[in-house]
Amino acid sequence: MLRAEGVRAVAIVNMHHLKPQASSRKPRRLLRRGVESLVVLSIATLLAHAFLIDGWLVPCVVSSGSMAPTLLGPHRAARCSACGMPLVCDADELTVDSLVCPNCGWPNNPLDPRTLAGDRLLIDRATLGVRPPRRWEVVVFRCSGHARDYCVKRIVGLPGETVEIRDGDVYIDGQIAHKTLKQQRAMAILVHDSVYRDPHLPPRWRPEGARSAWQPTTDGGWNFRQNTADVSSPADWLTYVHCRREVGSPETTEEIPIRDDDPYNPGASRRLNDVADLLLVARLQLSGSGSLWLRASDGGEVFQLEIQPLSGRVVLQRDGKKVQASQLAARLLGRSVELVLSTFDQQVLLAIDGRVELAFDYRRSDGPLRPVSRPLAIGANDLEVTIQRLQVYRDIYYTPSTHPANTLARQLGPDEYFILGDNSPISVDSRSWMGGETVRGSQFVGRPLAR
């Protein structure tokens, strides 16, 4: 429903310049001109919205789940009975009446019977008329064979490039395609959130060693006050352990690597893929003169970061060897900060409060990936650490094409774009279209505005 807001004009008059004999017609003329200007401005705004922004007068609603969780189609909701995490799933072709929680693994979370409408979009029609589309940008275009319908996907390949999907990642001209921190955060899929915890299961974050100084808090956080760990170790570690409830035995768990399962597709039957591209978000506060440590493993490499909050020095090690050092621009001590550690796209990235402080590109070791069940850890020594919240995300794992014509690298023409849906297992896009169809520049309508 659209509601038109009334327009009110206010005339401001300087009383010091009025004479008792002056006519009142002049203020009335000023008031009338002000009202006329507002009416013209309102009409111009309506026309601009009508021609430059779709979905403002006539709703544009997402009708499928191919871009979930970025954009939701018709969906149904649930809340985990064990840890309390909110859940959603695709309402189309739904064959189950409950969801499995990705955070704690509780399998019996009843669905709300109501179907919620897909996300409503406002489509900016002007921007792509000024500049060409960019990689990782979400765009709206006219569907091939259905010119009256719009499709919404994400661009990954640009004109003239060679696109290949390998081990869940996108490769452009033989090199892995990186994402900026903002793009990573926009595309990341939540795996674990410490705020939502099942009290009947062991915590996902666990101290290493019986003498560890890490202590859990009642709100899902952790405190570190005094290092009592083995002095031969550089840090007292708090390790993330990814696990799931065993089938048929919901009170017991087994450790497994993070995989590309998603409650949004509860009826999909497919082989799950191990995911090595992870992103850790920690909200914490530090004090003291010691070091904060971060550890990440992608299944083939082990990276370790030492952060010295007092001096601001950061040192990155790869398999025990120093590979990069930098100086923090952000102040860490005495305030709450958001720390991000990412291993997306064969790049180690450290960010503080949204600012990238270190980025290290590397090439993954040859051979099959062997992601581990304990891929992330936070360590400390000679510091006081308060962690309010810990979240673990994974990157989108792009599954390869099932069509024989599209299994090899795709060479794009001078006006061709390769597009993919964020919900890779069910998305119909450039991987699966017959003959590897792409999108041409003339098909673009615009891009969704921030909702």
Residue 206: predicted pLDDT: 95
Same domain, 38 and 73: no
Same domain, 363 and 282: yes
Q: What are the C-alpha distances in Å from 74 to residues 8, 31, 96, 450?
A: 39, 49, 16, 19
In a domain, 254, yes or no: no
Contact 425, 399 (CB under 8 A): yes
Residues of the chain with pLDDT under 50: 1-22, 46-47, 49-51, 57, 229, 231
As beta bridge partners, residue 283 has 338, 389
Same domain, 307 and 418: no
For residue range 168-187, list pLDDT tens digits in order.
999 999 999 999 999 999 99
In a domain, 253, yes or no: no
Residue 372: predicted pLDDT: 92
Q: 3-state class of 156 per DSSP?
A: strand
Residue 25: predicted pLDDT: 60
Residue 433: predicted pLDDT: 64
Q: What global pTM score does this model have?
A: 0.85
Residue 210: predicted pLDDT: 83
Residue 276: predicted pLDDT: 92
Rg (CA), the chain: 27
d(CA 371, CA 276): 6
Same domain, 310 and 175: no
In a domain, 297, yes or no: yes
Same domain, 349 and 384: yes
Structural domain count, the chain: 3
Same domain, 362 and 408: no
Same domain, 46 and 150: no
d(CA 210, CA 229): 9
Residue 331: predicted pLDDT: 87
The CATH number assigned to the domain holding 420 equals: 2.10.109.10
Domain finish residue from 357, 374, 394 = 394
Residue 57: predicted pLDDT: 47
Q: What are the C-alpha distances in Å from 144 to residues 66, 134, 148, 442, 445?
A: 16, 21, 10, 11, 13
Domain encompassing residue 321: 205-240+276-394
Same domain, 47 and 122: no
Tokens (6 digits) for 328: 């923090």
In a domain, 329, yes or no: yes
